[in-house]
Structure 1
Amino acid sequence: MKNHTMRRALAAGAGLALAGTLAACGGSEAGGGGGDGASADEIEAALQEGGELTYWTWTPQAEKQVEAFEAAYPNVEVNLVDTSGAADNNQALQNAIAAGDGVPDVVQIEYQSLLQFQLPGHLTDLTEFGFGELEDLYTPSTWGAVSQNDGIWGLPQDSGPMAFFYNEALFAEHGVDVPTTWDEYIEAGEALQKADPDVCIGNDTGDAGLATSLIWQAGGQPFRAEGEQVTIDLADEGTTRWADMYQRVLDAGILCDIPGWTDEWFAALNDGTIASITFGAWGPGILEGSVPDGAGDWRIAPMLSYDGTPVNAENGGSSEAVPADAPNKLLGAGFLKWLNTSDESIDEFMATGGFPATVKQLESEEFLGYESEYFGGQAINEVLVGGADSVVEGWQYLPWQSYANGIFADTVGQAWLGETTLTDGLAAWQAENVKYGTDQGFTVTE
């Protein structure tokens, strides 16, 4: 019987370290999964013949995608496992790899975590399955995220080009112009506070994911990884540009001290306490589903710039990959390819707010012309796709980004508490990451 109910995977342990140090790889190449490739015809034949595979994900659209896949390939049974979220998913995958048991055939992995599993050799190089031919299907930034270190380690599921989401009615009520640059953002934040001390232009308590996206948007390239060689420079030109600007934001006191994704945060968005958010293109679904009182009031604008030049970054986003120890790589590769290339699958993903990484869907007239009732009839995808076109290429995460994000609060995050400056916090974050990476067996330079 087909499994159309998402089963929940429970992850043991609270912490998440690098998924196997380099020293523990037993001399394997910094890649994974060799010698199991197949042609497109062989993959299709395997799908027609059928079998069983396991897919781990936290994507809400997965159940309908699996139903559509099994209708197209009735001889394949997909065991769908809900891993709750990125952190739980990574921990569960790490545990399965360490135990040598229970590794899925296909698994969702955030872009920022791919290297964490790829470098120790825990992912299959999809070049073996001819996936290099798929490059032109995806936006450059998302393809760049999955194709590093001379291999293809996953296929892009979605993208998260940043944009400026703002409560137009709130700005109008207080007679404050909607900002287009970071300088104007600070001015608008001060004007809103003057008009109503209870209103903040935004909120941020020191979110590592937001900070790295904003560093990327400022032109920073602080992390470079090529195999076991890692360079960290959190004082490069772009990172410094962000730190100087954002220190002014913090010093101005224009942000609410409300953590994101909490009940308090959603309440503040609903009642007009928070006037804007900068986050990824997946944002419309969040506001529509959880901020009902803002219907008709919110709008989306291009990401704030430094000097009027459109420059952007990604915030969030995931791929799907085939683990090196997957029991059925051939079926896994076939399902993965269908999942992230077929119109039927991508349409299901988009139907409930997923923002695709595929050029075809992003450029379609229907997608671009969609007018959102929640956003006052605005053609929001025109703005979001425009943001995707201006994403700076070449960004890389650390091979241990999950760990790095975990220590962000104790280093850079102290600047939000007034205990240090962003510049000094970044220096402390760099020192801690250099030590950690070296302890994990990487050659780390500054």
Structure 2
Amino acid sequence: MNISKWAQLPITVAALLTAGALTLAGCSANGGGNNEIAESGTTASSDEALAQGGEITIWSWEGTLKDVVADFEADNPGVKVNLVNAGSGNDHYAALQNAIAAGSGIPDIAQVEYFAIPQFALPGSLVDLNQFGAADLDGKFSPGPWNSVQFGEGIYGMPMDSGPIALFYNATLFEENGVEVPTTWEEFVEAGRALKKSNAKAYIMTDTGNAGVTQALIWQAGGRPFQVEGTDVSINFDEAGVHKYTDMWQTLIDEDLLAPFSLWSDEWYQGLADGSIATLVAGAWMPANLESGVPTGSGDWRVAMIPQWEADQRTSAENGGSSLAIMEGTPNAELAYAFLEYANLGGGVKTRVELGAFPATTAELNSEEFKNREFEYFGGQKANEIFVDSANAVAEGWSFLPFQVYANSVFGDTVGQAYVGKTTLQQGLEDWQSLLTQYGADQGFAMK
């Protein structure tokens, strides 16, 4: 699970880009060479690194990696792995950037969420995995995560998990109030109205302004507000896909159909438990959070394909998910890549899936055993079938900004104001655009 996808990073990271903002324009892939993936799941160079042994350090907050590391060390007794939790989300990235700035204490491998890849790749802080033949992995990961680890011609991380979005809903609440589960966003608004009419304390969903959810729904609606080519960056929220989202979501705000609770707050969990919040939009990493945070909801909740903008569509998007990236300057790059192969392509994938992670690997996503798993929490529903359908329906062409971590940190200052009646959602996004355009220019990007 990747709770930190909705976290916000303090503004103190601004100086990082100043030094490296103009370094990527001439970057290109290094070429794969003879690095075919063997049946064992490792390249020839990785096998050599494992045979030689050594020690690597990984920074990650992801809970299942502890077991993966233990299994990896057991299989490779000459290798020592130091797994360090330097904090999640904001704290993790701040610590990582401080180490980069100091030029010391940098780990060999770091967990980097997909939206943060450009911000670390652009200044040259991540190793381009093309030198290990990573281009040959095309097709081994679902499209959303695989596209997200690429920046320019480089591959700067190996997908660890995935976050195709779905609609989680309280089936008991819908049934008790005689409301149909929505399959389109128009039906979603109508369901919100019907629930509110039946139960004045019921909300269709909670949202107080969330960068991850907002961008995922704009992505699904066909909006592509961020365009990045090297250091040329354009931001445009005045486009059809964005307006499709803001027109609908503004209705939910205006009609008070959204609960005013922050995600992950005690009030939010309570609302999910007592039936006052009917749905949530989240990635496929969400089940474990519901099971641990809303145990009394077991049997009441179900999963559905994300509502569609048009009835005849079958389109989805991603929200969350992380890669494992090798940090530039490590003397242990080959050994680090061997761990990436094990954790994200080899035996580590099975371990993480058994512990509740949602994989990015097509082998697992196409597995009947994986898709047929019955979730007791969801009343025996085969929820992975929904998640896999969503992963296969992720729309192409989405880009994150090369300063997305900063961008998400100021989302509440602009777009968030729409949720307290100080502006409209569309105007809030355009205010965000203005702020980010100025920020990008100040960091040396050619902004359009």
The answer, yes or no, to whether TM exceeds 0.5 is yes
CA contact (8 A) 1:44 1:334 kept: yes
Q: Partner of 1:7 in structure 2?
A: none
TM-score by length of 1: 0.93
Q: Partner of 1:6 in structure 2?
A: none
Deviation at 1:435, TM superposition (A): 0.2
Specify the code of the residue in structure 2 equivalent to 1:355: F
CA contact (8 A) 1:210 1:315 kept: yes
Q: Partner of 2:318 in structure 1?
A: 314
Distance across 2 between alignment mates of 1:121 and 1:373: 45
Q: Partner of 1:270 in structure 2?
A: 273
Deviation at 1:327, TM superposition (A): 3.4
Q: Partner of 1:239 in structure 2?
A: 242
Deviation at 1:109, TM superposition (A): 0.2
Distance across 1 between alignment mates of 2:17 and 2:319: 27
1:343-378 Cα distance to aligned partner (Å, 9 max, x none): x20011111211000000011011111111110111
Q: Partner of 2:38 in structure 1?
A: none
Distance across 1 between alignment mates of 2:306 and 2:147: 21
Specify the code of the residue in structure 2 equivalent to 1:20: L
Deviation at 1:15, TM superposition (A): 3.9
Q: Classify the secondary structure of the residue corresponding to 2:135.
A: helix
Q: Partner of 1:90 in structure 2?
A: 93
CA contact (8 A) 2:21 2:443 kept: no
Distance across 1 between alignment mates of 2:172 and 2:349: 34
Specify the code of the residue in structure 2 equivalent to 1:218: A
Q: CA separation of 1:27/1:380 partners in 2, compared to 1, >3 Å: closer, same or farther?
A: closer
Q: Partner of 1:440 in structure 2?
A: 443
Q: CA separation of 1:158/1:16 partners in 2, compared to 1, >3 Å: closer, same or farther?
A: farther
Residues 50-199 of structure 1 mapped to structure 2, 5 A cutoff? 50-199=53-202
Distance across 2 between alignment mates of 1:129 and 1:16: 33
Deviation at 1:51, TM superposition (A): 0.4
Q: CA separation of 1:215/1:299 partners in 2, compared to 1, >3 Å: closer, same or farther?
A: same
Q: CA separation of 1:46/1:36 partners in 2, compared to 1, >3 Å: closer, same or farther?
A: farther
* Residue number among 394, 403, 406 corresponding to 2:406 in the alignment: 403
Q: CA separation of 1:31/1:319 partners in 2, compared to 1, >3 Å: closer, same or farther?
A: farther
Deviation at 1:20, TM superposition (A): 2.1
Distance across 1 between alignment mates of 2:112 and 2:26: 18
Q: Partner of 2:13 in structure 1?
A: 17
CA contact (8 A) 2:29 2:153 kept: no
- 1:334 maps to 2:330: no
CA contact (8 A) 2:21 2:444 kept: no
Specify the code of the residue in structure 1 equivalent to 2:184: T
Specify the code of the residue in structure 1 equivalent to 2:343: L
Deviation at 1:240, TM superposition (A): 1.4
Distance across 1 between alignment mates of 2:429 and 2:88: 27
Deviation at 1:200, TM superposition (A): 0.8
Deviation at 1:36, TM superposition (A): 12
Specify the code of the residue in structure 2 equivalent to 1:128: Q
Specify the code of the residue in structure 1 equivalent to 2:151: Q
Distance across 1 between alignment mates of 2:359 and 2:13: 30
Q: Classify the secondary structure of the residue corresponding to 2:224.
A: coil
Deviation at 1:23, TM superposition (A): 4.2
Q: Classify the secondary structure of the residue corresponding to 2:139.
A: helix
Specify the code of the residue in structure 2 equivalent to 1:254: L
Deviation at 1:235, TM superposition (A): 1.1
CA contact (8 A) 1:285 1:352 kept: no
What is the identity percentage for the equivalent residue pairs of Structure 1 and Structure 2?
Answer: 45
- 1:413 maps to 2:426: no
Distance across 2 between alignment mates of 1:197 and 1:296: 24
CA contact (8 A) 2:109 2:326 kept: yes
1:292-333 Cα distance to aligned partner (Å, 9 max, x none): 111001000100111121111001111110011223212111
Specify the code of the residue in structure 1 equivalent to 2:315: V
Q: Partner of 2:388 in structure 1?
A: 385
CA contact (8 A) 1:216 1:313 kept: yes
CA contact (8 A) 1:217 1:313 kept: yes
Deviation at 1:87, TM superposition (A): 1.6
Deviation at 1:256, TM superposition (A): 0.6
Q: Partner of 2:287 in structure 1?
A: 284
Tell me how many residue pairs correspond in the alignment. 432
1:82-101 Cα distance to aligned partner (Å, 9 max, x none): 13312211111100100000
Deviation at 1:429, TM superposition (A): 0.7
TM-score by length of 2: 0.93
Residues 9-48 of structure 1 mapped to structure 2, 5 A cutoff? 15-18=11-14, 20-24=16-20, 39=35, 40-48=43-51
Specify the code of the residue in structure 1 equivalent to 2:322: S
Q: Classify the secondary structure of the residue corresponding to 2:303.
A: strand
Distance across 1 between alignment mates of 2:331 and 2:438: 36
1:40-60 Cα distance to aligned partner (Å, 9 max, x none): 322211111100000111111
Q: Classify the secondary structure of the residue corresponding to 1:398.
A: coil
